[in-house]
Amino acid sequence: MFDIGLTKMSAKGQIVIPQDMRKDFRVGDKLLVIKNGDQLILKKASQFSKRLENDLEFARRTEDAYRRYEKGEFTEMSHEEFMKEIRKW
């Protein structure tokens, strides 16, 4: 579904995209950076479209789910139940 990587920001504000996550990017590609609270969303500028609203909604739901998880407010479910629920997103 999605990959997770770890990076850090340099003193100059530069952030390195982990090598295994940049295979679809080429030198010179323009990237769109969207700040949503404490989140940064990074997309190829060439793929910027109506999907922005979907991306922001996904980010909001992910952050909300993580906060609930941290508070211990989560539900245990089977794989089938989980897949049924995730399709609603």
Determine the average pLDDT of the residues in 57-67. Answer: 85
Position 36 scores a pLDDT of 81
In a domain, 64, yes or no: yes
In a domain, 66, yes or no: yes
Please report which confidence band the pLDDT of residue 11 belongs to, taking 50, 70 and 90 as the band edges. very high
**pTM for the model:** 0.47
In a domain, 11, yes or no: no
Report the sign of the C-alpha dihedral through residues 48, 53, 55, 60, in that order.
positive
Domain with 59 in it: 19-86
In a domain, 65, yes or no: yes
In a domain, 1, yes or no: no
In a domain, 14, yes or no: no
Task: Classify residue 5 by its DSSP letter.
Answer: -
Number of domains forming the structure of the chain: 1
In a domain, 53, yes or no: yes
pLDDT over 80 (residue 10): yes
What does R_g of the chain's alpha carbons equal in angstroms? 16
- HSE, side-chain direction, 13 A CA sphere, residue 29: 16
Which residue has better confidence, 54 or 38?
A: 38
Position 13 scores a pLDDT of 92
Structure tokens at 68: 């609930």
Single-letter amino acid, residue 5:
G
Structure tokens at 50: 């109506």
